[in-house]
A and B are shown apart, each in its own frame.
Chain A
Amino acid sequence: MFTFEELVELIRLVSETRIGGIEVEKDGMRVHIVGPPAAPQYERTGTPLLPPQLAAAGQFVGNPIALPAGGAAPAPPAAQAGQGEEEGLSFVNSPIVGTFYQAPSPDADPYVKVGDVVSKGQVLCIVEAMKLMNEIEADTSGTIVRRYPENAQPVEFGERLFAIRP
């Protein structure tokens, strides 16, 4: 038989390691503990909800299109997004497919540069689709640590635009 303390310990183990579950047997008593949902819902930005083992393996964090796939996934090169470097970052992803512009007009200054401190709601760039200029705002306050697309580069729906350290 398992003692109460042993059961609590098992539950804590499953919950802390975020493994899918555990099944143990002792003196003819079998206990099956199921962990937290295995497939966490990715938030567009904010705290990553991926299991630590996936995040550590260099998978994308906090990106709603985090599944690596045939050519289309906007995977940042490993050198730019090394292990652990992305921890705590918040990502601004493109809400539409279109063309990325860093400034309101070709001869104007960029809305933001890497290193700038931005506040929530501040315009970061434009994504143009069918001649409509869609201003993309920061959904969190912090420092811009990275800009992903080049100016005038096409971006897909869900593609990363900026990384912000809150």
Chain B
Amino acid sequence: MISKVLIANRGEIALRIIAACREAGLATVAVHSEADRESLHVRMADESVCIGPAYANASYLNVTAVIAAAEITGADAIHPGYGFLAENAHFAEIVEECGLTWIGPPPEAIRAMGDKANARRTVTERGVPVLPGSSEPVTSRDEAVTIAEEIGFPVILKASAGGGGKGMRVARDPRELRHVFDTARNEAEKAFGVGDVYLEKYLTAPRHIEVQVMADTHGKVVALGERECSIQRRHQKLIEEAPSPAVDAELREKMCEAAVAAAAAVGYVSAGTVEFLYNDGEFYFMEMNTRIQVEHPVTEEVTGMDLLMEQLRIAGGLALSIRKRPKMMGHAFEFRINAEDPVTFAPSPGTITELAFPVGPGVRVDTHIYRGYVVPPYYDSLIAKLVVRGPSRKEAIARARGALGMFLIGGVRTSIPLHLRIVDDPDFAAGRLSTAFMDRYAGRE
């Protein structure tokens, strides 16, 4: 069992983890950079340790500093949150070697899914559909063109070790493919130290639909249903919802089955997300995120489960609190409120001078900001998540419109005005979504 949890993160997720620990009766340790001294997670945790300067590489990404903080405070478990060290298999290994409990998946599972080409092969063997493409890294331009002509253009080159859009290149014809091949390899080499790239069929306007899974150490893996996250810009999700307007009971069954198979294939434990692209009635495995995700509250709202609490239970060796997939009740949205210009998306750090939260049934705000808080320029621009639940999608949208209008944040620019426009978009209202949805908002005004 665990008794004192160190939270290797900051911002809203650090607070969310502290809330779960408090409820579970666990002591908490916050770690923070010099820039986050005034952060709420520092104030709300039982203990706090400054682990480095503002620059994340020297603080939140500093493995030695985080472990040393656990040592000097006597913490016996580490929750990594999302981002930073959450998907660093090496860090997870060190945590375990130090005799601490890692609140997350086994390092081997992180590694197996972190290598994207390997993940693709592994899930294919379990019958999970993937986009047509190369099963091994592509080594030459000629080979790339041969495969591309077999599966049909457009195609996308992706870094095997990849993530975050780096090393990804789309090609519409053989000439373009020959042209971008070396660029993609070089970019992959620079970003990840490995130049391997693989090739996949490229879908121009698919839906992004993902399945939340949860697995315990007793071999039980359960899918908690899907979330649709098609509303993105530059591969960053903006709005997520559950259930997906494109998924019916039959499709849900198939996708959940595939997600459980993918997780089981790597011996998964704890919370994870299997991401799929959905196009013309077919879904394809994209990747697995081996961590709790930003958008986990959407699933919590429609299933009534507490995913963080579930992670703590699992880390303590307990069995999952459910035996089968819970029914999704009603409809939930998450709107990511970023400190950024709603039109240009330029970051907007600064002091929060005014703050009022929306109220009412089915309205939840996960945030770490307060009046007087200074949004530092060093980290992610996410400052709040507005989560809204309603009996139906239509009612949830109406509730979201009201809540967004009542959410006042002064001092920094936020994405709230952009969200207010999206909730009035006829395509959004009709559930006609795709990853190309935001193209119409790019560079407007």
Contacts and interface: CB of A to CB of B under 8 A. Distances in A.
A18 B32 CA distance: 32
Given A157-B50, A158-B50, 13 more contacts: A64-B34, A64-B53, A65-B50, A67-B38, A72-B50, A97-B52, A129-B65, A129-B71, A130-B67, A154-B73, A155-B72, A157-B49, A157-B59
Nearest to A129: B68
Contact of B69 (A65, A70, A73, A97): A97
A71 interface: yes
B63 to A, nearest CB: 8
Contacts of B48: 70-72
Interface in B49-63: 49-53, 59
Residues of A in contact with B, size category: 20 to 34
A154 B64 contact: no
Contacts of B43: 70
Contacts of B233: none
B259 interface: no
Given A99-B72, A130-B71, A157 B34 contact: yes
Given A157-B50, A157-B59, A96 B38 contact: no
Most buried by B among A65, A97, A159: A97
Given A97-B69, A132-B64, A72 B42 contact: yes
Given A72-B49, A156-B49, A158-B50, A97 B65 contact: yes
Nearest to A73: B37
Nearest to B34: A65
A158 B33 CA distance: 10
A127 B51 CA distance: 13
B34 A98 contact: no
A99 B65 contact: no
Contacts of B32: 72
A69 interface: yes
Say what secondary structure dominates the interface of chain A. loop
A98 B49 contact: no
Residues of B in contact with A, size category: 20 to 34
A132 B65 CA distance: 11
Interface string A144-157: 00000000001111
Contact of A129 (B34, B64, B73): B64
Nearest to A94: B50
A71 B37 CA distance: 10
Contacts of A64: 34, 53
B68 A96 contact: yes
Given A70-B42, A130-B64, A157-B65, A97 B34 contact: no
A132 B53 CA distance: 20
Contacts of A158: 34, 50, 53
Contacts of B71: 98-99, 129-130
A67 to B, nearest CB: 6
Contacts of A98: 68, 71-72
Nearest to A159: B50
A106 to B, nearest CB: 18
Contacts of A69: 37-38, 42
A129 B49 CA distance: 13
Nearest to B40: A70
Nearest to A72: B48
Interface string A88-108: 000000001111000000000
Given A129-B68, A130-B68, A157-B65, A97 B50 contact: yes
